[in-house]
Amino acid sequence: MATRFIVRRFAQAALTIFLIVILNFILFRAMPGSPDRVLARNPNVSPEAIQQIRERWGIDKPLIPDQLIAYIGATFRGDLGNSFAEQGRPVTEVVGSRLGPTLLLFGLGEIIAIVIGLALGAYAGWRRGGPLDLVGNGVSLILYSMPYFLLGMILLLIFASTLHWFPSFGMTTLGVTHDSPLAYLADVSAHLVLPVATVALGLIGQYSILMRSSIIETMSDEYITTARAKGITDSRVLRGHALPNAMLPTVSLIAINLGYVVAGAITVEVVFNWPGLGTLTVDALKSRDYAVLQGIFLVLSVSVVFANLGADMIYGRLDPRVRA
Amino acid sequence: MRSTIRARAGRILAIVGLIAATLAPATTSVHAADGDLILKVGTDQEFSGLNPWQSVYVLDYEVFTLNYDLLVGYDKDLNYTEGFATSWTTSDDGKTTTFKIRPGMKWSDGQPATADDVAYTYGFVLDALSKETTLGSGYLDGYVSSAGVKSVKAVDPETVEITTETPTPLLLAAYVPILPKHVWEKYSLEEIANAEAKGFFANDPPVVGTGPYQAVEYTPGQFMKFQRNPNYWGKQGAADQIIITHFENNDTMTQALKNGELDYARGINADAFDALKGTPDIVPVEGFANGYSYLTFNGYPKAIKDGGSSTRATADPAFRDALAWAIDEQQLVDRVLAGHGTPGTSLLPPFQAKWYVAPDPSVLRQFDIAKADEKLTAAGYVKDASGNRLDKEGKPINLRMTWPASESELATAAQFITEWWGQLGIKVNAGVTEDNTLLVDLTPPEYDPPGKADFDTYMWGWVGDVDPSSLLEPFTTDQIGGSSDTFWSNARFDELFKQQGQTIDETQRKAMLKEMQEIFYKEVPNIPLYYDSELHAYRTDHFGGWQNQPPENGTPLFGFGPIGYTLLTDATAAPSPSASEATAPSAGASATAAPGDSGSPTSGSGTNTGLLLALGAVVLVAIVGTLAVRRRGAKATDEE
């Protein structure tokens, strides 16, 4: 039964990815204008030359079926095309080189947010009305409602511009050749602090609010009363009975959240000039680099599919009813 | 009992502490190793790469003039000075120019740099032009074609002759980098010109050039690193290395400058720029723009099916003149640019001091709604009973107005103009258009594929070269279907444009340009709204010797040629170099790259380590996640 559940989920995921590929194609072709028109602003370009460029980029052929079939075939061969703005560099290479920094930034941010956010929320909910709840809830609401952009700028102004504790931009210090991997790690870490803090703080607010209400809801359930009536200690009721059930909505939230990584990535990365997918997205949008945009969107939508798949699996572990 | 909660809190604290521990030493461990002086430059623009033919932005021009020399360079007053050539003479008929090449000059790799390299570079462009191949982005070959270059010949290693169809002032102005034949001749025209071609020559670092600095490392979309050229023939700049970084966010760039993480920032926002004033060690520079923002009227002379202007009035110079009286350019400068600009008049900006002609006070348009009203009525555009202005066909004039999304400040300009023209009984429907859609909307039927010139008025900007020709060309009749967005046509303007491109004598040429500017001002194909300033800033604590190019209204860097970089001096050298480096955490960070390995790009290892780190983080997430789930799962089953 468990196997069937897994197979079904994987089949669904595969179908979703196929639909994403098609949607991706249509979406980008439906956008106004085309890259060759940018060249029309150049007084020296002849119409013949523009025609050449169209052929070069394959935008002279009919959209459907020629371009669509070519696109689907190429995508499944792992060929995402070439970047228009980066002089024909393969998209896989362009996107691949930016994937690492984004994973690093958001991976760390997520871990910190999960650990602190859930702990904070659980404790605040359990001690509802207590001092930590009052302060924590207020802070969480502020953090939750604050856009990454603003949060990032505030951190940057305080910790980089005023206190000079951390560098304000990039992933490494300009012009430094690192003698050892450790020196490199240290340099990257220093650059990581502010962007990771931005991501983590934004998410902590969200996670703790949800965890808190989820715990509060669970606490009124009858099995909690039963557990307490059995004389189990307060902390064991929390960890053994309330938490596992309260975790369920949080898991889906975290999984869904991965989908918003792109929105967050763009603003956080732009604020700190972080060389990840977010800054790449902005650049690609500016230069109308269709191929790269498609690549990014594909990577992101596929990772959302996988995140949800992962959530389903974890959900299955947490709540055996789902597996049935 | 609270102990378990506390234990958990303890574990969380431990994790946080662990993370903090890895981060803590970071700021102190990054420091200069061997005192290389690095100039750190931030820019709002994006790189187009290292193949100069692919250049699009000001930044790209900056990059190739660091790498290479132009045949004829520019000094800090924007006069011609030696470049790849040291001197030049023109034959009696004015059609042959003989350039003398510097004896004993070497490329950065030690190979001799000779007349052969000039013959190769210009010959390459001529070959591309004869085959009608677009050379990269198609900007640089235009300099050779508009100068009317017919042939190029290396007479001997130190002499090269270039022949043009007519005498022309445009040959010396040709902004074409001289490339090393021994590097570039291995690649075909297609491999150099076509970024999508198989075997495309991207000119990856290390670049071989004769310029003062050569690119040694380039990470697309992020930064470019240059190393001083020990073989450079001119004055050696103080900086051992230059790193130019692209910034996505203007505020971050400004903060990095304030922090001392940058020495120079180009393209600062007006608000941030004003806030920089009075900051210690920072000098904000407001340079004149070599260009302008305009409001164009659709002057297409015929009706276009399903397109064109909504009224014939936009093709009428009298109508356009009247509307120009109802625009307060000074107000726009104050309110749209926060004062960082000058009101527009001519299609040549005041930056072009040699050629700019301010309109005679007798014809200069002032902001005067009443006069605009009179002029409209006099020209036959009367108001109906309800106050709407009618065109000559008796239809109320409802002008569409748009601007590209990338130029967000024009939205403010549109609000003002809507209000002013509204007072004339002219309704304006203003709305932004996405850049590419706008480019499509602007194309006339002459374009291939034919467009519909589907607009009434729109706003955007033009940017020019040192020579004024490129700013004049879009208004010639030949450019309808090309760069023309006004579809204005004037026989005298066309004739003068051709003549000025063949006139060496500057007094005569200026007379022609004056007449062109007068015709333009009278006919109003577009209304120059303002000349937006270039807002840059630099720090004085690491480098001295900053000089504007040109001194009166230019900026130290991102002008014309690399002179601004070579004039820099080491501001830390005299007092105490280490003291200033120790002040800011990362500002003082200098390079450890050995001067000897000016070659090898190091981006590869960086990416790998980054990836490893990322992988580590992901694995960590997975482990933590699994453990958490395990424990909870186990507990849940245990206790239920």
**pLDDT tens-digit readout, B340-382:** 999 999 999 999 989 999 999 999 999 999 999 999 999 999 9
Structure tokens at A227: 């557990």
Angstrom distance (rounded) from CA A152 to CA A173: 19
Helix/strand/coil (H/E/C) assignment for every residue in B295-307: EEECCCCCCCCCC
More confident residue, A30 or A203: A203
Instruction: Please tell me the predicted confidence (pLDDT) of residue B20.
Output: 42
Instruction: Supply the ipTM of this predicted assembly.
Output: 0.77
- Owner of token pair 């959530």: A311
* B336, B341, B347, B351 alpha-carbon torsion, rounded to 10°: -160
Note the maximum CA span of chain B. 104
Residue A296's identity, in one-letter code, is: I
Whole-angstrom Cα distance, residue B397 to residue A9? 61
Are A190 and A222 spatial neighbours (Cβ–Cβ below 8 Å)? no
Distance separating alpha carbons of residues A80 and A63, to the nearest angstrom: 17
Please name the member of B482, B593, B617 whose beta carbon is closest to the beta carbon of A108: B617
Q: What are the tokens at B230? A: 């020990």
A37 touches chain B (CB under 8 A): yes
Chain A residues in contact with B252 (beta carbon < 8 A)? 156, 168-169, 270-273
Give helix A261-271 / helix A290-318 axis angle, nearest 10°.
120
Q: Residue A167 and residue B259: Cβ atoms within 8 Å?
A: yes
Nearest CA in chain B to A30: B437
**Amino acid (one-letter) located at B604:** G
- The answer to whether the Cβ–Cβ distance between A100 and B613 falls below 8 Å is yes
Among the partner-chain residues A34, A43, A317, the one whose CB lies closest to the CB of B633 is A317
Cβ–Cβ contact A317 with B under 8 A: yes
Structure confidence at residue B575 (pLDDT)? 52
Rounded to the nearest integer, the mean pLDDT of chain A is 80
Question: Does residue B251 sit at the A interface (CB-CB below 8 Å)?
Answer: yes
* B436–chain A Cβ distance below 8 A for any pair: yes
Q: Does B474 touch chain A (CB under 8 A)?
A: yes
A39·B138 Cβ contact <8 A: yes
* Alpha-carbon span B576 to B154, nearest angstrom: 50
Contact B133 A235 (CB under 8 A): no
Of the candidates B16, B23, B241, the beta carbon closest to that of A193 is on B23
- pLDDT tens by residue, A123-176: 888 888 888 888 888 888 888 888 888 889 899 888 988 888 888 888 888 877
Cβ neighbours of B217 in A, within 8 Å: none
Ranges in chain B, pLDDT < 50: 1-33, 576-615, 617-618, 621, 624-640
Whether chain B has a CB inside 8 Å of the CB on A103: the answer is: yes
Query: Would you state the structure tokens that stand for residue B68, as one six-digit string?
Result: 């290479």
Q: Quick check: B609 contacting A, CB < 8 Å? A: yes
pTM summary value: 0.78
- Which residue is closest to B133 within chain A, CA to CA? A49
Å between B611 CA and nearest CA of chain A: 5
- Of the two residues A293 and B412, the one the predictor is more confident about is B412
C-beta atoms of A43 and B470 within 8 A? yes
Q: What are phi and psi of B87, to 5 degrees?
A: -155, 165
B279 interfacial to chain A (CB closer than 8 Å): no
Residues of B in contact with A236 (CB under 8 A): 4, 639
Rounded Cα gap, residues B65 and B179, in angstroms? 11
Where are the alpha helices (H) located in chain A, listed in sequence order? 2-30, 35-38, 47-56, 68-76, 91-126, 131-145, 148-155, 181-219, 222-229, 234-236, 243-259, 261-271, 277-286, 290-318, 320-323
Any residues with CB less than 8 A from the CB of B99 and at least 6 apart, and which?
B71, B72, B85, B87, B88, B115, B118, B159, B160, B161, B162
User: What residues of B are in contact with residue A45 (Cβ under 8 Å)?
Assistant: 134, 138, 482
Write out the two tokens for B460. 């955007």
DSSP string, A108-158: HHHHHHHHHHHHHHHHHHHTTTSHHHHHHHHHHHHHHHS-HHHHHHHHIII
Backbone angles phi, psi at B369, to 5 degrees: -60, -40
- Measured between CB atoms, does A82 come within 8 Å of chain B? yes
User: Chain A window 112-171: which residues touch B at a Cβ cutoff of 8 Å?
Assistant: 112, 114-116, 119, 123, 153, 156-157, 160-161, 164-171
- The three-class DSSP label of residue B43 is strand
> Is the Cβ of B618 closer than 8 Å to some Cβ of chain A?
yes
* B526 vs A36, higher pLDDT: B526
Query: CB of B448 within 8 Å of any CB in chain A?
Result: yes
Instruction: Answer yes or no: do A45 and B134 touch at CB < 8 A.
Output: yes
pLDDT at site A49? 63
**Any residues with CB less than 8 A from the CB of B28 and at least 6 apart, and which?**
B585
Are A174 and B251 inside 8 Å of each other by CB? no
| Residues 6+ positions from A186 with CB-CB distance below 8 Å | B22, B25, B26, B29, B30
* A267: nearest CA partner in chain B: B249
CB contact at 8 A, B307 and B440: no
Q: How confident is the model at residue B113, as a pLDDT?
A: 96
Residues in chain A: 324
Contacts of residue A181 in chain B, CB cutoff 8 Å? 609
Interface of B with A in 211-240 (CB under 8 A): 219-223, 225
DSSP state of B186: T
Give ∠ CA B136-B140-B145 in degrees, rounded to 5.
115
